[in-house]
Amino acid sequence: MPQFEYSGRDYSGSLVSGYVDAGTAADVAEKLVGDRVTPIEIKEASGKPVKKDKSAARSRMDLGPDATAIDKANAFFGFDKIEIDELIMFSRQMYSLTKAGLPLDRAIKGLEASMSNRNFQRILRDVITGLENGNTLATALGRHPKVFSQLFLSLVHVGENTGRLDRAFIEISKYLELEKDTRKQIKSATRYPIFVLVAMAVALGVITVFVIPVFSETFERLGAELPWQTIWLMNTSNFVLNYWPHLLFAIGGAVFGFRYWLRTEKGRLQWDMRKMQAPLAGPVFEKIALARFARTFSMVMASGLPIVQGLTVVAGAVGNAFVAHNVHKMREGVERGESLHRTAVATNMFSPLVLQMISVGEETGTVDDLLAEVADFYTVEVNYDIKRLSDSIEPILISFIAVLVLILALGVFLPIWDLNTAVRN
């Protein structure tokens, strides 16, 4: 039985590759889809498979032989990250160039020369090389999974096969602009709370390390009876000063353990599920994920992807492992012959209004249009919830700060007040 080499994307959107023994390439594709992997390239392997260091190969491919020491340093520290604004501009420019009928290699060469981001230039040069070697544009772009998402690649693939690559790029740019607006709103809502918490942490650190020890020495020399607030502050300061290496090690270990846990399938699933159940912020995370689901599913349905493959693409684009898990359940239900509406009801994710629109869309053949309206509905809800979240967080932070300031004030000034009173008497 011949052996095939494949590359594709798993349910989370990560690039995977390997070797499969099968009769034909179609059998390989069927097996990959059953394993929740969207195939990008399948070819018959020649010779004995060699285990590849994918991370090293990808690093060399992304940097290229002309990379300077500064380029390598920027790549190591993540300073050369390609922002969403650059992807939007790339998509819009590709739309204009492909609509004008310019060949892909000439179009991308022109864009590569105009890019200010050296990392993006190297990626586009690699894409051009892939095109010159006979690969499709989706395959060439798929060599850079950290830049081009599964949704991006799927729409480009459909656009190539249908001859409407220009439409694919304009739809991608619209989606990325909506994604940019959502991120901007989330950053705007969380900027103030993060700033306040960081400022309070710095202030508490300075007081604990530098201020309280000075007062502690003074109170101990005077031998005054101290209130519980002062004793608590002194004990906390002594603990931090005596065990700060252990605290740093514990905090670093906790952060590393949490990040490692998030990289596991079970950890990511549980974390994303807990986020959607959190007070105040939970409904915002849920509606953002559902808005992405509806908009992405509308796009892939309008592009002509089969519903089963479309659900696989959607699962990798929603950005939430719990929602992606339920989308995979929907795909499995559709594969068994169930209706989309019935599988959506079984997930318990959608409101009755959304379920009704999905049902009507199935009956009338306008699922893509109605899902676009669902996405707009969720987007409006997200905007309202983010504003309400900002209004709700502010009094909570003020109350938190007031309690800390009260404890610090009582702990520092009550002993001074008692000593002053004793001296006067």
> Could you report the per-residue pLDDT of 175-211, keeping only the tens digit for each?
889 888 888 877 877 788 888 888 888 888 888 888 8
319 and 411 fall within a common domain: yes
Confidence of residue 59 (pLDDT cuts 50, 70, 90): very low
- By CB atoms closer than 10 A (0-12, 13-18, 19+), residue 32 is buried
Q: How far apart are CA 384 and CA 311, in angstroms?
A: 28
Percent of residues, the chain, with pLDDT higher than 90: 8
Chain centroid to CA 277: 18
pLDDT for 254 beyond 90 = yes
225 and 122 fall within a common domain: no
Q: Which residue has the higher pLDDT, 224 or 309?
A: 309
Q: Which residue has the higher pLDDT, 318 or 52?
A: 318
Average pLDDT (58-81) is 53
Confidence of residue 63 (pLDDT cuts 50, 70, 90): low
Side-by-side strand order, sheet with 15-21: 15-21, 3-9, 38-44
Average pLDDT (418-423) is 59
pLDDT for position 50: 42
Confidence of residue 54 (pLDDT cuts 50, 70, 90): very low
Question: Does 272 map to a domain?
Answer: yes
**Residue at which a domain ends, from 133, 148, 163:** 148
pLDDT for position 55: 36
Question: Does 168 map to a domain?
Answer: no
Q: Which residue has the higher pLDDT, 132 or 34?
A: 132
Question: Does 362 map to a domain?
Answer: yes
125 and 209 fall within a common domain: no
Runs of H (alpha helix) within 101-164: 104-114, 118-132, 137-141, 150-162
Question: Does 419 map to a domain?
Answer: yes
90 and 129 fall within a common domain: yes
pLDDT for position 49: 45
pLDDT for 57 beyond 60 = no
- By CB atoms closer than 10 A (0-12, 13-18, 19+), residue 219 is buried
Collect all residues with Cβ–Cβ distance below 8 Å to 355 and sequence separation of at least 6: 341, 344, 345
Q: Which residue has the higher pLDDT, 147 or 215?
A: 147
Q: Do residues 358 and 371 make contact, with C-beta atoms less than 8 angstroms apart?
A: yes
Domain count, the chain: 3
pLDDT for position 347: 87
282 and 139 fall within a common domain: no
pLDDT for 97 beyond 80 = yes
Q: Which residue has the higher pLDDT, 16 or 136?
A: 136
Q: How far apart are CA 418 and CA 225, in angstroms?
A: 9
Give the domain CATH number at 226. Answer: 1.20.81.30
pLDDT for position 56: 35
Q: DSSP letters of 60-79?
A: HHHH-TT--HHHHHHHHHTT
Confidence of residue 51 (pLDDT cuts 50, 70, 90): very low
Question: Does 166 map to a domain?
Answer: no
Question: Does 157 map to a domain?
Answer: no
142 and 186 fall within a common domain: no
110 and 41 fall within a common domain: no
Question: Does 207 map to a domain?
Answer: yes
386 and 267 fall within a common domain: yes
pTM: 0.69
Q: How far apart are CA 131 and CA 218, in angstroms?
A: 76
Q: DSSP letters of 2-25?
A: -EEEEEEE-TTS-EEEEEEE-SSH
Give the domain CATH number at 16. Answer: 3.10.20
Question: Does 62 map to a domain?
Answer: no
117 and 229 fall within a common domain: no
pLDDT for 296 beyond 60 = yes
139 and 274 fall within a common domain: no
pLDDT for 53 beyond 60 = no
185 and 299 fall within a common domain: yes
140 and 188 fall within a common domain: no
Bridge partners of 3?
21
- What mean pLDDT, rounded, does the chain reach? 80
> Could you report the per-residue pLDDT of 281-290, keeping only the tens digit for each?
888 888 888 8
pLDDT for 48 beyond 60 = no
Percent of residues, the chain, with pLDDT higher than 70: 85
Domain span including residue 116: 84-148
Average pLDDT (138-143) is 86
pLDDT for position 256: 94
Average pLDDT (301-319) is 81
Helix (H) or strand (E) holding 44: strand 38-44
Helix (H) or strand (E) holding 40: strand 38-44
Average pLDDT (223-231) is 74
pLDDT for position 259: 92
